[in-house]
């Protein structure tokens, strides 16, 4: 069974940093592109970043470019999102999702909530 | 960047009727390999999203055949036939042809 479990969310002050993790199981992690997608409370879905299988290609949304870094550890089957210089508008539930046919495919995890507030 | 525009943003539908959601992109979504990477997602109240359709018209596993996607180039439509109560939620299109990927604003489907 494919499972993705996000962790690392919490309350952080503007300008602060946070590192999200996504532990995966049930599939050949190293062969899949992986995405981070976020959703602010009561708002729509926003694509954040994607990483290819060996970590050599990592496009980002304009809103997070230069502040967020997506990475992966294929030995640990784990995806990461390092978030620096956090802003109030980064407040959201963050989902990690694997890719199939160039798009996030099920299952999605439960997400992890990041709250940026003073 | 590619902008995805959905309409309507709110869609009241009678049970058993057909719902149609439009999604337009600001640029052609035809990729250099000839494929068009347009996805559709459903998010039921209180749940994580679920992909329904990939590459314009291909259903993901477990998606009923009364849900279909059509379209080409910049103009796409999600069609839900014989609407059921379980279809209530927000529907999003998403382009995966150009970086950065982008979702539409979402269309909220409700039962009239």
Q: pLDDT at position A77, please? A: 98
**CA dist., res. B33 & res. A1, Å (int):** 32
What's the mean pLDDT when you consider all of chain A?
96
Q: Does the structure show a pLDDT above 90 at B32?
A: yes
All residues of chain A having their beta carbon less than 8 Å from the beta carbon of residue B2 are none
Q: Does the structure show a pLDDT above 90 at B25?
A: yes
3-state SS, residue B85: helix
Q: pLDDT at position A105, please? A: 87
Interface with A, mutate which of B1, B21, B23, B51 (most A CBs under 10 A): B51
A103–B1 CB contact, under 8 Å: no
Strand A18-25 with A3-7, pairing? antiparallel
**CA dist., res. A66 & res. A42, Å (int):** 26
CA distances A78 to A1, A62, A87, Å, are: 16, 24, 25
Interface with B, mutate which of A1, A104, A107, A112 (most B CBs under 10 A): A104
């Amino acid at each position: 069974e494919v499972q993705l479990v996000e962790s690392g969310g919490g309350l952080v002050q503007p300008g602060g940093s946070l590192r999200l993790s996504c532990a995966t199981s049930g599939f050949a992690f190293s062969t899949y592109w992986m995405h981070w997608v976020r959703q602010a409370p009561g708002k729509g879905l926003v694509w954040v970043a994607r990483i290819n299988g060996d970590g050599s290609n990592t496009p980002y949304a304009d809103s997070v470019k230069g502040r967020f870094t997506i990475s992966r550890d294929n030995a640990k089957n784990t995806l990461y999102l390092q978030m620096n210089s956090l802003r109030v508008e980064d407040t959201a539930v963050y989902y990690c999702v694997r890719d199939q046919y160039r798009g996030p495919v099920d299952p999605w995890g439960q997400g992890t909530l990041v709250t940026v507030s003073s | 960047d590619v902008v995805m525009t959905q309409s309507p943003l709110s869609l009241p539908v009678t049970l058993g009727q057909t719902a149609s959601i439009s999604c337009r992109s600001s640029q052609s979504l035809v990729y250099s390999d000839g494929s068009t990477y347009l996805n559709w997602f459903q998010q039921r109240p209180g749940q994580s999203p679920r992909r329904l359709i990939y590459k314009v018209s291909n259903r993901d596993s477990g998606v009923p055949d009364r849900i279909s996607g059509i379209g080409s180039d910049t103009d796409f439509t999600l069609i839900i036939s014989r609407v059921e109560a379980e279809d209530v939620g927000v529907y999003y299109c998403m382009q995966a042809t150009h970086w950065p990927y982008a979702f539409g604003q979402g269309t909220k489907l409700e039962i009239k």
